Structure 1
Amino acid sequence: MACRISELVLDASDAERLAAFWREVLGYVEIGREDDGSIEIGPPDTGFGGLQPTLVISPNSTPRTGKLRLHIDVNATDRDQDAELERLLALGAERADVGQTGAENWHVLADPEGNEFCLLHHRLQPARPQSSE
């Protein structure tokens, strides 16, 4: 028996803004809200427990700053890397410098609250909802 990642939690000073950003980046929808202001987003028609983990954006008045020990990697599904980079920058991502040499085939970015993530080179097939059979 093994575990599976079901959700990732990001602390945010502005949970609404960060949830909106990641919904657009990933094509996710809002799944629910908690009394503490947390917003859970996930793949449409799947929700919690699907093959892809959901994201929980959790309000925190003192979110951690500096390099995180874990970051998210994303791949485009319907366009090439250059076009996806432009889309992410238009959504509010910013380029981040973590010591790249310039020879990498990925881009290091930061979300609107400074959480680093990488846009990788390969295009992936879009995730398909699980069959209910």
Structure 2
Amino acid sequence: MLNRVVLVGRLTRDPELKFLGDGRAVANFTIAVNRPFKNGNGEQEADFINCVVWRKPAENVANFLEKGSLTGVDGRVQTRSYDNNEGKRVFVTEVVAESVQFLEPRNRQDGGNNTNNNSGNYENDPFSNDSSIDIQKFDLPF
């Protein structure tokens, strides 16, 4: 059996970091993943997918990602349920992230000095701006 999910999207809000009683860190976040087609009105639609990540990766997500950050998530789908305060059963489907990739440098709100712990010079990174590259199907080698 296989339960594997790979997603690329943007965070819809800042991650929420909590520490459990035993000291384990857990972060919850939601990413918007564009659908590969437009609806009947020509508008791009997205799915909003809840994700959870544990331990040190949870702390990294909370420290380095924020609303709007482009991220990649590799994990599995999990469903669970609980009884809410009104006694009603609530069902939750989420992606449990085994790996979270930071796909762009942190925002440069500090005047251009990048404080990201990833090694690399983003000042000369041709992919660090918001411009898009138009790649046609015949440009791909496969």
Q: Could you say which TM-score interval applies, normalised by the shorter chain?
A: under 0.3
- TM-score, normalised to structure 2, is 0.26
Larger radius of gyration: 2
Q: Which has the higher helix share?
A: 1
Give 1 or 2: higher strand fraction.
2
Q: Which has the higher contact order (CA 8 A, sep 6+)?
A: 1
What TM-score do you get using the length of structure 1 for normalisation? 0.27
